[in-house]
Amino acid sequence: MADYFVHESAYVDEGAEIGKGTKIWHFSHVMGKARLGQHCILGQNVFVANQVTVGNFCKIQNNVSLYEGIILEDYVFCGPSMVFTNVKTPRCEFPRNTSDDYFTTLVKRGASIGANATIVCGITLHEGAFVAAGAVVTKNVPAYAIVAGVPAKIIGWMSAYGDVLVFNTKGYATDSQGVMYRKTNDDCVQKLDSAR
Ligand SMILES: CC(C)(COP(=O)(O)OP(=O)(O)OC[C@H]1O[C@@H](n2cnc3c(N)ncnc32)[C@H](O)[C@@H]1OP(=O)(O)O)[C@@H](O)C(=O)NCCC(=O)NCCS
C-alpha cells in the first residue's frame, strides 16, 4: 500500500515519485516525471509537470501549477492561486515548448509566496524569502526579504519563523524565538543562529 495519500479525484501518472506522508487533494494532477518529497500537501487543483522537483514538507495551496523548470526546496509555501511562469517571451505562432525553452525558477528552503503572486521565470527566491500577496516578482529575492508590489520591491525582512524583523542601530534583530539576524547592507540579511 502506498505510504502517501491521493484523493480519488486526483491523477498521479505512472512513474511519479511521491514521498512518504504526502497528501494530494481533489482534482490535482501530477505528471509521471515529477518528484515530490515527503510530507508535502498539495491542495485542490494543483498541477505538477514533468521534471519538477518538490522538496520535503512543502505546502502548495489551491490552484497552483508547477511548470517544468520549477524547483522547490524543503518547507516552501505556495499561497493560493499564485502563478509560476517558465517561458519569458511566449508566442503562440512560434511556440517555445521544449525543455530547452524553459527557464529555471528556484525557490529555496523555507521561502513563502503569498496568494495571487506571480513569479516571472528565471529567478531565485533565496532561503526564507517572503513574497507578499499579489506581488509580481521580476528579480531574485534575497534571503529573508519581504517583497511586495508590481514590480516587487523589498519592503522589509522576515525571520524564518515568520516575524517581521526590526533591526537596531547596529544592524541586529532578534525574532520571537530568540534567533538573531544581522543586516549587512540594504539587500543582505544573515541568520546568525545555526539552529533551524
Ligand atoms: C507582506 C505581509 C506579510 C506584510 O504584513 P505586515 O508586516 O503585517 O505588514 P502591514 O500590514 O503592517 O503593512 C506594511 C506595509 O506594507 C503594505 N503591504 C502589506 N501587504 C502588502 C501587499 N501584499 N502588497 C503590497 N503592499 C503591501 C501595507 O499597505 C503597508 O504599507 P504602508 O506602510 O505604506 O501603510 C502581508 O501583507 C502579506 O501579503 N501576507 C501574505 C498573506 C498570504 O498571501 N497568505 C497566503 C495564504 S493564507
Task: Please list the ranges in the chain whose pLDDT falls under 70.
Answer: 1, 194-196
Please give the pLDDT value at position 196: 52
Quote the ligand 1 centre to 116 CA distance (angstroms).
13
How far, in Å, CA of 171 to CA of 67, rounded?
39
Please give the pLDDT value at position 99: 87
Atom of ligand 1 nearest to the CA of 116: 44
| Ligand 1 contact via 132 beta carbon (within 6 Å) | yes
Quote the ligand 1 centre to 137 CA distance (angstroms).
15
How far, in Å, CA of 126 to CA of 191, rounded?
13
Please give the pLDDT value at position 97: 87
| Ligand 1 contact via 43 beta carbon (within 6 Å) | no
Number of domains within the chain: 1
User: Exposed, middle or buried by CB within 10 Å (0-12, 13-18, 19+), for 112?
Assistant: buried
| Conformation bin of residue 33: beta by default, left when phi > 0, alpha when psi is -120 to 50 | alpha
Please give the pLDDT value at position 2: 82
Provide the terminal-to-terminal Cα distance of the chain, rounded to the nearest Å: 33
184 is a domain residue: no
- Domain of 45? 5-86+96-166
User: Exposed, middle or buried by CB within 10 Å (0-12, 13-18, 19+), for 127?
Assistant: middle
- CA 165, 133, 140, 84 dihedral sign is positive
73 is a domain residue: yes
Task: Give the pTM.
Answer: 0.96
How far, in Å, CA of 30 to CA of 41, rounded?
13
187 is a domain residue: no
How far, in Å, CA of 34 to CA of 54, rounded?
8
Please give the pLDDT value at position 28: 98
Residue with the smallest CA separation from ligand 1 atom 6 is 164
173 is a domain residue: no
193 is a domain residue: no
143 is a domain residue: yes
- Each residue of 29-59: pLDDT tens digit? 999 999 999 999 999 999 999 999 999 999 9
| Ligand 1 contact via 149 beta carbon (within 6 Å) | yes
Quote the ligand 1 centre to 29 CA distance (angstroms).
31
Q: Tell me, what CATH number does 124's domain have?
A: 2.160.10.10
141 is a domain residue: yes
192 is a domain residue: no
Quote the ligand 1 centre to 117 CA distance (angstroms).
12
**Contact indicator for 188, 179 with CB cutoff of 8 Å:** no
Please give the pLDDT value at position 194: 61
**Contact indicator for 159, 153 with CB cutoff of 8 Å:** no
